[in-house]
Amino acid sequence: MKIISVSNNRKFITMAILVLLACQAAPADESASHQFMSLYSDGSVTPLMTIYIVNLAVVAALMILGWLVSLYRKNVTVVDSLWGLGFIFIAWSSWYQADDTYGRQILLVGLTILWGVRLMAYLTWRNHGKGEDPRYAKWRQSSGNRFWLTSLFKVFLLQALFLWVIALTIQAGQMSRQPSPLGLLDLIGTLVWLIGFIFESVGDWQLVRFKAGPENRNQVMDRGLWRYTRHPNYFGECLMWWGLYLITLSDPNHWWTVASPVVITVVLLKMTGIPLTEKLILEKRPGYREYIKNTPAFFPWVPKQREQYGESP
């Protein structure tokens, strides 16, 4: 999944600043404020903001390492593989910095690892041997000799910031001062996450199988989950983050982490997800327009009709 678009840098940075301000203003009473400012169950004063900063540093270090690899390989597409891995690192870092281990923490970390490993493996396999993504290649050409430095800030470090903001729910969810036992919200959140995981992983698998068939060359994938939504992978991605938020919401003081699923939903629906993906497809495959007319973009629904559109998404 390619998330960051250069044209949306300012929009995202503005969004990130607003999220951080919301995080700082989140505690509404004395107990919530205490929870926001300390982590350990024995009451020792360890600012949670320190935990967030450490996590940001961890993922920034990962992205800088990826940037160095990209300089050696002259290919920044490696950043795609680091996306899922970055969430795993943040989940592990949060767990490591917490004294206690409890059910909700294990649940959040486990779901994050399962999703992150699958996504990292899939994107690494998909991109292997295919050269640099055309969008990055075009940007490299337009930036000239400055691209080596530009890519550090506008591709890798921006990804780190973006990733960290979206991961707020899996960070805060592990930091309850007095964690409660797993309950109904944990169950609902896990079910929502599971549905999203199925949509994303099955959608990716169906598309790979479809493209592997010679008879499907230049055809639109309108089968399986792709018959009911043009982007089952994006739909699944959003569902998973809303599911993780519901799990985190088991501690009501973490209501403010709604910023996490809201950000990823807005980005996929309005910024660099569906709009950018479909713009690039339409530039190469005009027949995709008919598929757009008949198939919902995001929420699965019965399509208007089924045709062979003559192009592949």
- Please report whether residue 147 resides in a domain: yes
Confidence of residue 56 (pLDDT cuts 50, 70, 90): very high
pLDDT tens sequence across 77-116? 999 999 999 999 999 999 988 767 788 999 999 999 999 9
Confidence of residue 228 (pLDDT cuts 50, 70, 90): very high
Residue type, 265: T
DSSP string covering 3-53, please?
---GGGHHHHHHHHHHHHHHHHH---SHHHHHHHH---TT-----HHHHHH
Q: Which of 304, 185, 189, 166 has its CA nearest to residue 251?
A: 185
C-alpha span between 107 and 186 (Å, rounded): 9
- Please report whether residue 302 resides in a domain: no
Parent domain of 122:
6-294
pLDDT of residue 245: 97
- Decide if 159 contacts 82 (C-beta within 8 A): yes
pLDDT tens sequence across 185-217? 999 999 999 999 999 999 999 999 998 888 877
- Please report whether residue 312 resides in a domain: no
pLDDT of residue 305: 64
- Please report whether residue 165 resides in a domain: yes
- Please report whether residue 267 resides in a domain: yes
pLDDT tens sequence across 162-178? 899 999 999 998 887 66
- Please report whether residue 313 resides in a domain: no
Q: Which of 298, 124, 267 has its CA nearest to residue 196?
A: 298
- Decide if 39 contacts 23 (C-beta within 8 A): no
**Is the pLDDT score of 154 beyond 80?**
yes
Q: State the pTM of this model.
A: 0.83
- Please report whether residue 262 resides in a domain: yes
Q: Which DSSP symbol is given to 179?
A: P
How many domains are contained in the chain? 1
- Please report whether residue 299 resides in a domain: no
